[in-house]
Amino acid sequence: MKIKSIQVGPLEVNCYLVFNEDQGDGLVIDPGDDSEILIRTISQCRFTPRLVFLTHAHIDHISAVGELSAEYNCPVWLHPGDLELYNSPANQLPPWLPPAENLPDPISEPPESIAGMEFSILHTPGHSPGSCCLHFAKEGQLFSGDTLFQGSVGRTDLPGGSQETLTRSIQHLFSVVPISTRVHCGHGPSTTVEAEKMHNPFVNSQTY
């Protein structure tokens, strides 16, 4: 597994390219903006995206979805809990990000693996109703979107957010993911489950 992180858009979302060099296939996680940069980097990495995976539907994470999906003719997966947000014209951050255009309909059933890399999807609502993490258990890698950050957690004051729900989601996440797992966050630096259980001020490790 190869992982390439690219900061995109004015809110510096971490878009991740995850691919298998031997097979030349992979997936794109949260293409939030800057489609031309993403397409150029994908070409440099020499792989073909077979899936666009969205950890959630906030506009800063989906602005380049239409361009990426069209360029590679690949499906998009999003948890149905965020479909209303995904399709809403109100899903924008003026004046920085207008509503996303040409969004394809997400597929209902995601694949269980891509390019020989098996993964599971963990529903972690709280930041948004459909927030999810993508877990590659064999490789020890977790893509947390805006559920969990280094030293912080996702905000819950946006429509559909809930601090209580997010706390329960993180509790469940920490109960099923090994502490050695590397966490690739939607914003900011990567971290580990162990580091966040020990040091994250928003996480009470005594509850796990």
The CATH number of residue 99's host domain is 3.60.15.10
pLDDT one-digit tens code per residue, 132-182: 999 999 999 999 999 999 999 999 998 899 999 999 999 999 999 999 999
pLDDT one-digit tens code per residue, 44-61: 999 999 999 999 999 999
pTM: 0.95
pLDDT one-digit tens code per residue, 4-29: 999 999 999 999 999 999 999 999 99
32 three-class SS? coil
pLDDT number for residue 79: 97
Q: How many domains does the chain have?
A: 1
- Average pLDDT score, the chain: 94
Query: How many alpha carbons fall within 13 Å on the CB side of residue 11?
Result: 21
Domain that holds residue 101: 2-207
93 pLDDT band (50/70/90 cuts)?
Answer: confident
Tokens of 59: 């506009």
Cα gap 145→173, rounded to integer Å: 13
| Better-scored residue on pLDDT, 172 or 96 | 172
pLDDT number for residue 97: 85
